[in-house]
Structure 1
Amino acid sequence: MLTDTAIRKAKPANKPARMFDGGGLYLEVSPAGGKLWRLKYRFNGKERRLALGIYPDTGLADARDKRDAARKLLAAGVDPGEQRKAEKAAGEERAANSFEVIAREWAARQTWVESYRVKVEARLGSDVYPYIGRRPVAELSAPELLQVARRIEERGAVESAHRALQVCGQIMRYAIATGRAERNPVADLRGALASPAGSHHAAITDPVALGGLLRSIEGYSGDVVTRAALKLSALLFVRPGELRHAEWAEIDMDAGEWNIPAGKMKMRQPHLVPLCNQAVAILRELHPLTGRGQYVFPGGRSPRRPLSNNAVNAALRRMGFDKETMTAHGFRATARTMLDEVLGYRADFIEHQLAHAVKDPNGRAYNRTAHLAERRKMMAGWADYLDTLRAGGEVLPFKRKAS
């Protein structure tokens, strides 16, 4: 039988040398000096060999334990070599069906706008993968997923915890649909997290205050591109991300139209924004500065990237409007409220212009040109009203409905 001393003193020769221990276990010393444990055994009348590890990572005692385990399998009529192959295949299958692998496969199939994709992948990368990324998706339990969400909740990000759990639920449904899991444990967690406090995008809805904001924008002394983005935020009230990613190829100034492709829209439907005369004038003034590039509002560091997602909000803060008073997204709430309650436009015209999920009486989504003539009139009326407020003119009272 071998000893540790004999193994340590073993020197390489011109050809592989074998040092036997017993029960089929031996140490093979290569001419390069490597030492590999092997087990020689017979199964169904055929001689076979099984690698048991490299010395000194696998010591003598460990090698003997592995030999004894293999001999027990042989006594039970199991080939230890085939058993190892099966275990390796099972391990590879578990890795291929891990939560992270399936989550990345699911994410790659989504048609998100790039900013949202970055947000989802960042949330998964920082809050989910480190804890359950390697777990086989079919073995995940509700308590494991709850613990992931609770870690986020405990740092005070309650809404983020809910969003992370929602994404995990979507990934689990994809795993079920593709045959990698049988049930969605997220469904068992309804009510397990604290409800997030109600949140909203701060917005000015008082006509006098809105006039002050418009005058501040008119006098904004910062970047010219950001100033144009501020003006169009008020006039067009599209989502901030849609405005930042506007491309000159999408805009027809002669026709007074901005056609936003479905891939940039939250609802994944193409959207047509009628451009009032005031909006076209702003774009014509901006075109000599940025018209040779892709983006209407290029970033300051690179013309190949759009304006920063914080540029409009930062400009509002610079003008003295804090985040509890007005936000970039708040221009949408401003328009929605005042078009309805001050100017009296039909709610469905407003909702359609906001690119919300408006449906016809048969339950079908309206196409992008629905109510286009009425929406053109509404957008022109809104622009004229903003001009009046900016000039400090007549302020119409709330709840006045147009005929």
Structure 2
Amino acid sequence: MPLTNVTVKNAQPKDKDYKLFDEKGLFLLVRKNGAKYWRQKYLLDGKEKQLSLGVYPTVSLKEARVKRDELKQQLRQGEDPSAQRRKQTTADHQHDFESVARRWHQNNLPRWTPRYALKISQMMESRVFPHLGSKPIDGISNADVLRVLRLMEDDGVRETTRKCRTYIQQVFTFAIAEGIAEHNPATGVIHALKALPPANHQRSLPMSMMPEFFGAIKKDTAHPIVKLGLELLMLTMTRTGEVRFATWDEIDFEKRLWSIPAARMKMRNDHLVPLSPRALEVLKQLHQHTGHGRYVVRSPNSISKPLSENAFLVLIKRIGYQEHTTTHGLRATASTVLNEAGFRADVIEKQLAHEERNQVRKAYNRADYLEERREMLEWWERKILGDGE
């Protein structure tokens, strides 16, 4: 006798699981904990199989019968419903947010530095995947994205929250291009986030204090590797990471060049750094300490490791200049002074390894300005040593 809605609704748990049969192989499995599951029995190649059709009451008796009839239709067409279910499950998994985000991440690796790629991956894994990872990419709403971002705001990481929103937005842009999503729920949510406080820009050292700052570094009792490394950073206008991970095979003393490979640059472009006379002297002194190893500015405590990330900041703090500058602020000082001195902006930006924002101009401007940059860095060297014009 076929099941009725009343029979299904009133089915009570017993000491053991039991089944209530409907028609054409459909039955209700009643667990001893009271849960009720729809199951369908069918024969394929002489073997009996079962397929889950959902949970009651989420799936009603009527809906379960519709699913049963669809399954029967698949059998008449020579298809195995279980195999089709597995195939669909795999496809659905490929289109969940985490899977799409990982494809987007992999797609962008060639233009990211390893450190930047790791930073994005860790942010996604800790902040986003636990909440959106298993959701179908085309089933995520603005409210879902906003919920994730507000949890981050509650943790007090507002700037990181905005970066995370940008990454989520890029994942959806990627999904739309793949044809697996139709809208981007991260686009408008920025207007629902808390306003950021006024930007606190990196402290930059006034040029009037530069000779004194330079002298304080030389007089300090820090390890020579740390002091020489910070001096090299100042002379070349490079970033902390570019100095810390510099290797001796990148240095050409004869051509007076430091060639930083794209893999280590923030903008993923090779960067040539002309070396001024003092920069060459600094490198020769460093070679006496680290020339037998790989890294130019290695850790004083390990021949195989680069200098620690905070070593330069610790030195700046110890000589009493932490309120006046950071390592990044030294680059800002150089940029300000060189612009005021009349050096061309394109040359300064090239030395700072800043990316051209105008994409059309970027496509046509391949100039390296190597000799102009060499002259500029030699002028900058004289300036910070205290004998500039």
TM-score range with shorter-chain normalisation? Answer: 0.7 to 0.9
Matched residue, 2:218:
218
> Partners in 1 of 2:184 and 2:307 — Cα distance?
40
SS of residue in 2 equivalent to 1:255? coil
Whether contact under 8 Å (2:297, 2:307) holds in the other structure is yes
Aligned CA distance change for structure 1 residues 39 and 344 (closer, same or farther; 3 Å): closer
What is the deviation of 1:41?
A: 5.2
Aligned CA distance change for structure 1 residues 194 and 86 (closer, same or farther; 3 Å): same
Matched residue, 2:339:
340
Matched residue, 1:401:
none
Matched residue, 1:234:
234
SS of residue in 2 equivalent to 1:128? helix
Matched residue, 2:65:
72
In structure 2, what residue type is equivalent to 1:337? T
Whether contact under 8 Å (1:295, 1:304) holds in the other structure is yes
Aligned CA distance change for structure 1 residues 275 and 83 (closer, same or farther; 3 Å): same
Matched residue, 1:280:
280
> Partners in 2 of 1:282 and 1:103 — Cα distance?
44
- Root mean square deviation, CA, Å: 3.6
Whether contact under 8 Å (1:100, 1:134) holds in the other structure is yes
SS of residue in 1 equivalent to 2:188? helix
What is the deviation of 1:90?
A: 3.0
Query: Any residues of structure 2 matched to 1:68-217 within 5 Å, and which?
Result: 72-73=65-66, 76=69, 78-79=71-72, 85-110=83-108, 111=110, 112-196=112-196, 197-207=198-208, 209-217=209-217
In structure 2, what residue type is equivalent to 1:49? E
Q: Which one is further off, 99-108 or 79-88?
A: 79-88
Aligned CA distance change for structure 1 residues 346 and 20 (closer, same or farther; 3 Å): closer
Aligned CA distance change for structure 1 residues 131 and 360 (closer, same or farther; 3 Å): closer
SS of residue in 1 equivalent to 2:296? coil
Whether contact under 8 Å (1:39, 1:49) holds in the other structure is no
Aligned CA distance change for structure 1 residues 4 and 107 (closer, same or farther; 3 Å): same
> Partners in 1 of 2:50 and 2:182 — Cα distance?
37
Percent of aligned pairs sharing the same letter: 31
SS of residue in 1 equivalent to 2:259? strand
Whether contact under 8 Å (2:203, 2:324) holds in the other structure is yes
What is the deviation of 1:288?
A: 2.6
Unaligned segments of structure 1, at least 5 residues: 9-18, 28-36, 54-61, 397-403
Whether contact under 8 Å (2:41, 2:51) holds in the other structure is no
Aligned CA distance change for structure 1 residues 71 and 149 (closer, same or farther; 3 Å): closer
> Partners in 2 of 1:179 and 1:200 — Cα distance?
41
Whether contact under 8 Å (1:299, 1:308) holds in the other structure is yes
Partner of residue 373 from structure 1, selected from 371, 374, 379: 371
Aligned CA distance change for structure 1 residues 365 and 115 (closer, same or farther; 3 Å): farther
What is the deviation of 1:73?
A: 4.5
Query: Any residues of structure 2 matched to 1:304-323 within 5 Å, and which?
Result: 304-322=304-322
In structure 2, what residue type is equivalent to 1:286? L
Whether contact under 8 Å (2:40, 2:68) holds in the other structure is no
**Matched positions, count:** 354
Matched residue, 2:10:
none
SS of residue in 1 equivalent to 2:327? coil
Matched residue, 1:34:
none
> Partners in 2 of 1:217 and 1:254 — Cα distance?
28
Aligned CA distance change for structure 1 residues 48 and 292 (closer, same or farther; 3 Å): same
Matched residue, 2:329:
330
Whether contact under 8 Å (1:138, 1:181) holds in the other structure is yes
In structure 1, what residue type is equivalent to 2:292? R
| Rg (Cα) greater in structure | 1
> Partners in 2 of 1:142 and 1:226 — Cα distance?
48
Aligned CA distance change for structure 1 residues 261 and 93 (closer, same or farther; 3 Å): same
Whether contact under 8 Å (1:38, 1:49) holds in the other structure is no
